[in-house]
Amino acid sequence: MNTSRKLALVATTALAGAALVAAITSTAHEDPVPGAAHQGAAQPALAVAATTLSAITIPTRIAASGNIAPWQEASIGAEANGLRLVEVTVNVGDRVRRGQLLARFAAATVEAELAQARAALSEADVLLDEAAGKARRARRLLDTGAMAAQEIEQQLSAERAAAARVEAARAVLATQALRLAQTRIVAPDDGIVSLRAATVGAVAPAGQELFRLIRGGRLEWRAEVAGRDLDLLRPGQAVHIALAGGGALDGRLRMLAPAIDLQTRNGMAYVDLAPHPAARAGMFVRGEFDLGERAADTLPHSATLLREGFSYVMRIGGDSRVEQTRVTLGRRSGERIEILQGLDAQDRVVAAGVAFLGDGDLVQVTAQPGQQARR
C-alpha cells in the first residue's frame, strides 16, 4: 500500500469517529424516555355523569313488624260435669254460625234426673193444694173461735211450707233442664274453629276447654312500633303488610296501646285486617303505616356509598376533582333516596360508580353515564 492510500484511510477513519461522537453528544441532550414530558399531566380516574338534588314527592311510611292474631277468641268448655262425649260435629278450620251444634254429651242420665224433678214438682203441687185448702178453712174459723188459734197458725204455716217446697222443686227442675241443655255444646258466635280438644268417648270435667273460636273470623296485626313514631300514628290510617308468601294485605289502624314496653321501648299498634286466604293467626309479618306524601330532595341510590357505617357521596369540585362528602339519608322511593343533610341544591355529585373513586380523584364529567373503566 502506497503512502497516499494510507493517508486516505486514516482520514476516513477520523471522520467516522467524529460523526459517532457528534451523534452520542446529540442523543445525550434529548429526553431519555419518550413521552416523559407528558407524564406531568394527571389522567382522569373515571368518566362519570354528574347529577344534582331533585325534588320529588315520596310517600311517608313507618315500618313495623309483629304477629297476626285473632281479634277476639271465645273459649268453649264443658259445663256439665262427668258426662261422656258421644258426638263432635266440627274440626279445626271450620267456619260456624251462632248456635250451631259443635259437640253433644250423653244425656240419658240427665234426662232421667229431669223426669224425677218433674215428678217431685207435681208431688209438691199436690201437697200445696191440700195445705192451701186447710189454710182457707182455718182462716174462715179465725173469728168464730171454733178452732184454737194455735191450730189455725199451724195450718197457715203448713201452707207456706208447701209453697216453699214447690219453689224448691221448680228450682231442681230448672237445674236439671239446664244440665240437659248443657249436654249440647253450641257456638256462642259466628267464627272459625281454631282449636279442638274434644274427643268422642272422653268424660270431660266441668270447665275443661273443648273448642276455641276466632270470633267473626276477624284477624288483627299487633305491630310493634318504635316509641318515637307513635305520635305520628292516628286511628284510621292505611296499613300495607307484606306476607311471607309474597302476597300483600291491607288494613286500618284501630287503636294504639296506652303504654310502651319498658324493655323494648316499643308500643303496640292494633290493625284491623281485611280478609285474606293467606293470612293466618300466629304469622310474623312486616308492614308499613301510610302517613301520606311530602316533597323530598333526592339523588339516585347509585350516587351514595356506605363506608365505615356512614353514607357518602362524591361531590365534584370546580377543578373536576371529587370530594368525599358525608350525607344523611332519609326515605327511599324506587331507585331514588332522600338526602336530609350534607348537600346544597347546586352541588354536583357523581351519579354512579362511586365505589371506584377515592377522595381527591380527578374525573372527566360527561353528559351521560358512559363506560366506567377501573383505573
pLDDT in tens, 295-348: 889 999 899 999 888 999 999 988 889 999 999 998 888 889 999 999 998 899
In the chain, the number of structural domains is 4
φ, ψ dihedrals at 123, nearest 5°: -60, -40
CATH number for the domain spanning 202: value is 2.40.50.100
Tell me the residue range of the domain where 224 lies: 63-71+217-291
User: Do 111 and 176 have their domain in common?
Assistant: yes
- Would you say residue 359 lies in a domain? yes
CATH number for the domain spanning 348: value is 2.40.420.20
- The set of cell numbers assigned to 374 is 377501573
- Would you say residue 332 lies in a domain? yes
- pLDDT number for residue 114: 93
Task: Enter the DSSP assignment of 44.
Answer: P
Q: Of 170, 196, 216, which marks where a domain is finished?
A: 216
- pLDDT number for residue 75: 94
- Would you say residue 4 lies in a domain? no
- pLDDT number for residue 144: 73
- Would you say residue 230 lies in a domain? yes
- Would you say residue 147 lies in a domain? yes
- pLDDT number for residue 145: 66
User: Do 300 and 175 have their domain in common?
Assistant: no
User: Do 350 and 313 have their domain in common?
Assistant: yes
Determine which helix (DSSP H) or strand (DSSP E) holds 20, and give its type and residue range.
Answer: helix 3-28
* Residue 46 to residue 364: CA distance in whole angstroms: 6
CATH number for the domain spanning 284: value is 2.40.30.170
User: Do 200 and 329 have their domain in common?
Assistant: no
Helix 149-181 crosses helix 108-140 at what angle (to 10 degrees)?
160
**CB 309 within 8 Å of CB 319:** no
Question: 24-38, 221-235, 317-331 — which is least confidently predicted?
Answer: 24-38
- Picking from 151, 169, 11, 179, the residue whose alpha carbon sits closest to that of residue 83 is 179
Average pLDDT for residues 286-292, to the nearest whole number? 91
- Picking from 194, 192, 173, 68, the residue whose alpha carbon sits closest to that of residue 118 is 173
Res 225 pLDDT > 90: yes
Q: What is the pTM of this model?
A: 0.62
Question: What is the tens place of the pLDDT at every residue in 130-141?
Answer: 888 888 877 777
Task: Enter the DSSP assignment of 199.
Answer: -
- The set of cell numbers assigned to 243 is 306476607
Question: What is the tens place of the pLDDT at every residue in 141-193?
Answer: 776 766 777 787 788 888 889 999 999 999 999 999 999 999 999 999 999 99
User: Do 263 and 148 have their domain in common?
Assistant: no
Residues forming beta bridges with residue 18, ordered by sequence position? none
Res 23 pLDDT > 60: no
CATH number for the domain spanning 115: value is 1.10.287.470
Cβ-based burial of 309 (10 A; exposed 0-12, middle 13-18, buried ≥19) = exposed
- pLDDT number for residue 136: 82
Res 31 pLDDT > 50: no
What is the DSSP secondary-structure string of 203-242? EEPTT-EEEEEEETT-EEEEEEEEGGGGGG--TT-EEEEE
**In the chain, what is the straight-line distance between the N-terminal and C-terminal CA atoms, in Å?**
69
